[in-house]
Amino acid sequence: MSGADATTRHPNPPERLGPYRILQVLGEGAMGIVYEAEETSPVRRHVALKVVKAGLHSKEIAARFDSERQALAVMDHSGIAKVFAAGATESGEPFVAMELVKGLPITEYCDAHKLSVQERLELFVGVCQAVQHAHQKGIIHRDLKPSNILVAEHDGRAEPKIIDFGIAKALGTALTDITFVTQWGQAIGTPAYMSPEQAESSGLDVDTRADIYSLGVLLYEVLVGRLPLDPGVMGLPAFLARLATGEASPPTPSARLRTLGRDDQLIAHARGTDPARLRGELKGDLDWIVMKALEPDRARRYATASELAMDIERHLANEPVLAHSPSTAYRLSKFVRRHRAGAGAAIIAVVAITAGGIAATVGLVRARRAERVATQEAAAAQHVTTFLVDLFKVSNPSEARGNAVTAREILDRGTERIRGELKDQPLLRARLMQTLGTVHQSLGLYKPAHALLADALQIREHELGPNDQVVAENLTALAAVATLEGDYAEAERLLRAALAIRERRGQRADTATATILMGLAGISARQNKNVEAESSYVRAIAIEETALGASSPRIPRMLRSLAVVQMREQHYPTADSLLRRALDIQERTLGRDHPDVAATLLNLGALDWTEGRFADALAPYERARVIDEKALGPEHPDLASVLNNLAETYWKLNRYAEAEPLFRRALAIKEHALPAGNPSIAVTLNGLASLLRDEKRYAEAEPLFKQALEIRGKAFGPVNPNVAETLKAYAALLRSTGRAREAAALEARAVRAK
């Protein structure tokens, strides 16, 4: 296929994997699938079988599974899922067979059974004891969260069990020579339950106290029904920034309960009480215990999980807890409570008021600091909004004065205004430039987009210095435009500069870093560097899923891009699986007429095309064309890609009369929207020339082949499959016109170019 533009539902489960008979799919993430399976020999039992997903197998992923297997093997505790065996499928994907735990996440179990605060605490003590066992064996879990702590009932007793030590880190001895964390330098974990040191570092300086922080988050959620800080509310970048800098200062559990409005009734009901009594139970000891576990400074947290468990047990026994300042008044209040004497009420009130005053003072200082930042950000955002609203007033009849105004004219007017205004506010000016640059890019207007983003970058580097986070964001945006313009060398330079800034700032595991890696992977893929592309895509998927979970809307795009690499490596079943999974997610979350759905359909059509099923490719291509024409308009470069691929399909089916107008329309759009040397133009030139050659219109075809060869040679160099494709197609024309010597020379070059 002439370089067609290409970028899931999980496959049907196999019937067997070694001695295991597959029963059903239990769960699925971007990196692997967990099956319920029946082991038939040497013993008969049901197991959870965790398998690396087809297409994502690599040395790093295999090492991660090997680490999990070995981590579980050294532990023997009733609160930790046992590992039975490990192996690999016939196609090489590693798997781990472990104890099948049929239970509910701890938060769901507690609410479903309406456990009281005391019952929840008793259950949580068991979790702490299991974590302590792992720590004594030199293992940090690093991803403690409700879905990894399942509760099941045995003989009428609730028993928590921890699963998934897949991102554990060995303390005493190296469980494996390659670990998922140190190899990629990313902050492993789920953001809402992640410790500050996981958010701010490469993962090299994380110890058992990271799990203590996660236990604190979990305890907070078990007691209050809410997270102490929710990334979904404040946005992931702001959340990670606050967490990493130690600015995360959530309210105490009892204070949080007061902010929930009518929801406090539901939360209290799930705990078998009413809001007032629940606040009373939380206030004091439990507030202090939770906040000590959540200390941003790990030196001030509980030193061990056992220490946290013992403090909870002290609270349950009405004994003084370590989390509270051991003052005389506090010890007296505990004595009074144990002995039910009424005289202690006044003392307790004094202690509570004093503690509340201290907490309020600290909170006020932090709130004022955050308020200043928020005020500045709000003012800048308001200025951008006002500017854009004012800009689009030109479409108002009173402003346009009867003349039709196009979107391009509106943007041109905005560009002129930005360049003439706000010279005394350079950073705000740069922000507006990036906003308009992004709009230009989305409309396929790459040249003005490039100019605006380049000017914004120059301002920001001058005002903020070369290592600011905003500069990295600007570099990434500019690289995206350079990629679309076909300047891959410049795009790669910009992306590597952005990545270097984020690494120097310790920001190696957030969505912005995943975006950079996706950009680098895309450039490698366009240059046919499939190994480098696959590595970057897999790393980006891992970061994205860690940061936002498998439901991130960007995951389908990443799967689609990885599928393209699998197609090029002729791993067609894997590519089909990845694409159909991406399509399934997109249609459920975005709807059937979203442009992202069209992009995935385009790739599915390309897969059919590549495997020679040309008639099958027509349906996804035609559906993609309808979506893009409606969503993007008739002049967008993405539509041109669909038209090009549809034309190539009709050409392969010998339906030349239908193919030619599609080729010519695609070429006209690309030549209007893209720079003259863009490799995407060569894709259509090559396809149209091949059609004309097959129709024996040699005089029309030859200059198009020459033009395509010139563009591809400049973009990719002499050794590249795209160059080889055009050389072979052009050689076929020369042979058809009796120029065998010239044809042989091109064919020899094509062999060297592969």
Q: Please, are residues 603 and 560 in contact by the beta-carbon 8 Å criterion?
A: yes
Cα–Cα distances in angstroms (integers) from residue 590 to residues 545, 700, 704, in the given order: 19, 43, 39
Q: How many CB atoms lie within 10 A of CB 19?
A: 16
Q: Please, are residues 62 and 94 in contact by the beta-carbon 8 Å criterion?
A: yes
Report residue 736 as tokens: 């058809």
Q: Please, are residues 49 and 20 in contact by the beta-carbon 8 Å criterion?
A: yes
Q: Please, are residues 290 and 311 in contact by the beta-carbon 8 Å criterion?
A: no
139-140 vs 169-170, strand pairing mode: antiparallel
Q: Please, are residues 146 and 103 in contact by the beta-carbon 8 Å criterion?
A: no
Residue 733 CB contacts under 8 Å (≥ 6 apart), including other chains: 689, 693, 698, 701, 702, 705
- Give the C-alpha separation, 599 to 593, whole Å: 11
Angle at 60 between CA 567 and CA 62, to 5 degrees: 90
Largest CA distance in the chain: 112
Q: How many CB atoms lie within 10 A of CB 361?
A: 9
Q: Please, are residues 603 and 563 in contact by the beta-carbon 8 Å criterion?
A: yes
Residue 501 CB contacts under 8 Å (≥ 6 apart), including other chains: 466, 467, 468, 469, 471, 472, 475
Residues forming the active site: 143
Report residue 487 as tokens: 């300047």
Q: Is 40 in a helix, a strand, or coil?
A: coil
Cα–Cα distances in angstroms (integers) from residue 238 to residues 199, 246, 501, 548, 728, in the given order: 12, 12, 18, 13, 53
Q: Please, are residues 110 and 96 in contact by the beta-carbon 8 Å criterion?
A: no
